[in-house]
Amino acid sequence: MPAMDNQSLKPTKEQIIYANLLLMGMLAGIIIMIITYTIYLTGLLPSHVDMQIISANWGKGIHEYLEITHSPQGWEWVTLLGKGDFINFIGFTLLGTLTIICYLVLVRGYYREKNWIFATISVLEILVLSLAASGILGSGGH
């Protein structure tokens, strides 16, 4: 076995920043989800879709469900932030955008190292995740 190389065994600076960002974002996301769900269940904010209607239709396919409940697709939920059910999307969105934010740190690190292969891979990943998040591919067509 090779001799222990302390430097190689340690995580890189970018790796630590990535880990810290991930930890803070994940904790914030979970706390936000619990708070917004409590607001939703206690009825502090009115719901866009009545819970009884949701439970009567959650066995139907997504297209039928959206038509019956008049639920939004893509980022249209932002216009319904005053509704108890849709404030829950703040937590979901935070969890979904965390990786994109963390990748920005990696791009900076690889750019400084002049590691063009991994800087390109990181930029491409940001583009892929942003495309998925944009709603261009995921929404519409119902």
Partner 1 sequence: MLNARMFPIGRWLFLLMVVVMSCPAIASATETMVGGAPSKPWWFWPIILFFFCLVLGVLAVMAGVGGGVLYVPLVSGFFPFHLDFVRGIGLMVALAGALAAGPGLLRRNLANLRLALPVALIASTFSIIGAMLGLYLSRLNPDLIQTCLGGTIVGIAFLLLFSKNTEKPVVTKQDAIGLALGLQGLYWDDGARESVEWKTHRTLLGLFMFILIGLLAGMFGLGAGWANVPVLNLVMGVPLKVSVATSKFLLSITDTSAAWIYLNRGCVIPLIAVPSIVGLMLGSILGVRILAVAKPKFIRYMVITVLLFAGLKALDKGLGLGFLG
Q: Which of the residues 21 through 60 are near partner 1 (CB under 8 A)?
A: 22-23, 25-26, 29-30, 33-34, 36-37, 40, 51-52, 54-56, 58-60
Crossing angle of helices 13-42 and 89-113, in 10° steps, is 170
Q: DSSP per residue over 89-119, as a string?
A: HHHHHHHHHHHHHHHHHHHHHHHHHT-HHHH
9 touches partner 1 by CB under 8 A? yes
Q: Minimum Å distance from CB 50 to partner 1? A: 8
Q: Minimum Å distance from CB 110 to partner 1? A: 9
Q: Minimum Å distance from CB 79 to partner 1? A: 14
Distance CA 72, CA 75 (A): 8
Residues between 93 and 132 with contacts to partner 1, criterion CB under 8 A: 95-96, 98-100, 106, 117-118, 121-122, 124-125, 128-129, 131-132
Burial status of residue 122 (CB atoms within 10 A of its CB: 0-12, 13-18, 19 or more): buried
Among 45, 68, 74, 80, binds partner 1 (CB under 8 A): 74
Among 45, 73, 80, 111, binds partner 1 (CB under 8 A): 73
In the chain, beta strands by DSSP E: none
